[in-house]
Amino acid sequence: MTELSLRRVSGRSGGRSARRAARSAPLATDLRPVRPGLSGGTYNALSDADVQKIHLAALDALERIGLADAPPSGVAILTDAGCTEGPDGRLRFPRALVEDMLAKANRSVTLCSRDGQTDLDLSGTRVHYGTAGAAVHMVDVSGRQYRESTVQDLHDAARICDALDNIHFVQRPMVCRDISDNRELDLNTIYACCSGTFKHIGTSFTDPSFVAPAIEMLHLIAGGEEKWRERPFVSNSNCFVVPPMKFATESCLVMEECIRHGMPVLLLSAGMAGATAPSTIAGAIVQAVAECLAGLVYVNAIKPGHPAIFGTWPFGLDLRTGAMTGGSGEQALLTSGCAQMHRFYGLPGGAAAGIADSKLPDMQAGWEQMCSNVMAGLSGVNMIYEAAGMHASLLGFCHESLILGDDLIGQALRCVRGIEVTDETLALDQIAEVCLGGSGHYLGTEQTLSRMQSDHLYPSLGDRSSPKEWEEKGKPDLLDKARQKKEDILSRRSPARFAPDLDRALRNSFRIHLPS
């Protein structure tokens, strides 16, 4: 009997039913067919020579072209570090400075969860999938229509993510359109997410002055500043650049504040190929890499080794119409090429995948989401953002699609895990046993039964029944099953909800819009 079957089955005294029950019991995390942090990096969209060319082109862009519009504090920080400010107001980055800051960058970032159970190790090519975006609409699959998103929708999305094994982090996927005050919007975004999930959370700020009250809220949730700084469970998604090659002044000030308060940052460059970035895939990657290298210099000039994610997010564009093409093959290649640059620098990296241009969770959405999610995982992206629930090229978010995305990402992760080749998995002894005087098939053999759950991933909602069985079950519909699962999750109290005394303290200190 294998080690796996020994760990799963304590003996044979219970007979066939006992063994069947043991096989249906939840697997230990290390025995599951997929899990957070599987190592990707087996797919290379670029050759080694291509990677070098992109790297050198990015360095050349920083040295010759530089970036404009840094805030005065940024100009002081970067010129003190070694940048030069030209008469045109652009900051230029000497190659030696970039290389020096690359050497100082943090390569062993862990993004913490609130309860310590789902921390994300971003070293190497460990892959994690999660949500992101700033959708302004919710997709109503029942009415086949769009409506404005609310703080309750955001909280519900966090609660659903907390219950899904293959959604590893929760970056705010939508905007609370029912909150008009930007300060209250930012604070309620944190409250809604943190009270819905223990998983790591990403958020953004609309004004630098909103960071301090948000940190005050996070100190309350963490149990004090010391505990927050020890395990920061929220990171700042920061669009510090306005492509092409300009700093976003307000966002840079937000980034400076977040670094001072010990909050990890995602350095996010999101150019549109053909509009705010070159139309070629290689050119769009060059610009994204150059912009993120500038951000890396900025961060490490403030605080060497501060946890930062190299967030190259170039997006595709339909050049016939100007529409974003988040579900295209070009998008998958953009993300895969960026992943290789992350690996080249040895930096924790993030990129976008899993976006559907389709307006509903239909077949178009399925192929669009799967294509880029698989390629991003195989390429070894540490943080794959917008991986589930996003429709209409990031304008709409769908709870049912988020749930279906858990199944989809599970299959993508199984591809990331790849093929295990060992003496046991080569199965020569099994072949001989079955073929030489055996049953002539592998159904029900000890080897098949012992590995059926560790090697094979089974969809929770996907239907693999025969047409006859499907008809006998009442022809179940995939969206109906997703809707039922959503209702089941939301019918239960959130495990991540705040204790009553903490919730009272938060509501006394801040105007919370989510009903208690």
Do 493 and 484 meet the contact criterion of CB atoms below 8 Å apart? no
Do 235 and 264 meet the contact criterion of CB atoms below 8 Å apart? yes
Would 55 be classed as within a structural domain?
no
pLDDT one digit per residue (tens) for the chain, 516 residues = 344 443 443 344 455 565 556 555 667 777 789 999 999 999 999 999 999 999 999 999 999 999 999 999 999 999 999 999 999 999 999 999 999 999 999 999 999 999 999 999 999 999 999 999 999 999 999 999 999 999 999 999 999 999 999 999 999 999 999 999 999 999 999 999 999 999 999 999 999 999 999 999 999 999 999 999 999 999 999 999 999 999 999 999 999 999 999 999 999 999 999 999 999 999 999 999 999 999 999 999 999 999 999 999 999 999 899 999 999 999 999 999 999 999 999 999 999 999 999 999 999 999 999 999 999 999 999 999 999 999 999 999 999 999 999 999 999 999 999 999 999 999 999 999 999 988 999 998 888 888 888 899 999 999 999 999 999 999 999 999 999 999 999 999 999 999 999 999 999 999 999 998
CA distances from 512 to 7, 18, 132, 243, 393 (A): 47, 50, 22, 35, 30
Q: What is the CATH number of the domain that holds 166?
A: 3.20.20.480
Q: In whole angstroms, what is the distance from residue 319 CA to residue 271 CA?
A: 14
Residue 371's domain spans which residues?
103-417
Would 375 be classed as within a structural domain?
yes
- Which letter does DSSP use for residue 327 in this model? T
3-state secondary structure at position 477: coil
pLDDT at 444: 87
CB count in 10 Å sphere of residue 508: 8
Count Cα atoms within 13 angstroms, Cβ side, for 185: 17
Would 23 be classed as within a structural domain?
no
Would 41 be classed as within a structural domain?
no
Structure token pair of residue 374? 């698989």
Would 166 be classed as within a structural domain?
yes
Q: In whole angstroms, what is the distance from residue 466 CA to residue 480 CA?
A: 19
pLDDT at 9: 38
CA distances from 460 to 46, 258, 367, 482 (A): 35, 39, 19, 10
Would 327 be classed as within a structural domain?
yes
Q: In whole angstroms, what is the distance from residue 455 CA to residue 421 CA?
A: 12
- Which letter does DSSP use for residue 332 in this model? H
**Helices then strands (H, E): number in the chain?**
20, 19
CB count in 10 Å sphere of residue 418: 12
What's the number of domains the chain is made of?
Answer: 1
Give the angle subtended at the CA of 121 by the CAs of 118 and 124, to the nearest 5°.
150
Would 48 be classed as within a structural domain?
no
CA distances from 3 to 8, 249, 418 (A): 9, 57, 21
Would 365 be classed as within a structural domain?
yes
pLDDT at 19: 54
pLDDT at 234: 98
